[in-house]
Amino acid sequence: MSAPIRYYYDLMSQPSRALLIIFRLSNMPFEDCVVALRNGEHLTDDYKREINRFQRVPCIHDNGYKLAESVAILRYLSAKGKIPEHLYPKYFVDQSRIDEFLEWQHMTLRLTCAMYFRTVWLEPLLTGKTPTEAKIEVMRMHMERNLDVVEEVWLEGKDFLTGNSLTVADIFAACEIEQTRMADYDVRIKYPKIRAWLKRVRQSCNPHYDVAHEFVYKISGTGPQAKL
């Protein structure tokens, strides 16, 4: 009998949270291997040599096979039958719609939410320098262009991003959007469809969703039930 995969992650990382939720919804055994990014554990030569040559999280080790990048990990484990088809279907038509979102979001929603978070919260923490209001506004504008697309296109006429049931697309997207809480951005104010959708995603994924976002809730000072 093969050993469970080793999962290297940090809950500060959006895709790390997404995979953690997916794994737990899938009832997939895995070994917790928490990496403290804040302590630079991923930057050591040992980590690069033994864990992940790209020195990032998340990544997995599956009986000696090393794989990085969250979507690649998802597809690999789906091909092995570890991810239930209601989350990531094997039928190519249904799967392609989810893949369409995953490909779209990487350089749009993910990039701009991450850059907003980095500009407003992470860089000031690391450097002690406060960004200008002009820079914050530019980052917010880029982010909201993609939030507009989620609100007006992806959530048009349906409860979830790719249909009327939860898939991995919703989990990846929700984890990206939740990250902006730590930068004092409340997506619920401007986007009613996203607000209702986030509530549905959380309800569909709990208790795993709240566990994965404990750090986000703590840093932002806004729990999942926080009122507008």
In this model, does residue 226 exceed pLDDT 70? no
Would the pLDDT of 222 be above 80?
Answer: no
Q: What is the pLDDT of residues 85-142, one digit of tens each?
A: 999 999 999 999 999 999 999 999 999 999 999 999 989 988 899 999 999 999 999 9
Tell me the CATH number at 50: 3.40.30.10
Q: Do 71 and 44 sit in the same domain of this protein?
A: yes
Residue 87 located in a structural domain: no
Q: Please give the tally of structural domains in the chain.
A: 2
Quote the pLDDT of residue 225.
62
DSSP 3-state of 56: coil
| DSSP sequence for 26-45 | TT--EEEEE--GGGTGGGSH
pLDDT digits (tens, 9 = 90+) for 74-87: 999 999 999 999 99
Q: In which domain, by residue range, is 136 found?
A: 92-227
Which pair of structure tokens corresponds to residue 155? Answer: 């959530």
Give the per-residue pLDDT at 169.
98
- pLDDT of amino acid 38: 87
Assess if residue 86 is contained within a domain. Answer: no
**What is the pLDDT at residue 165?**
98
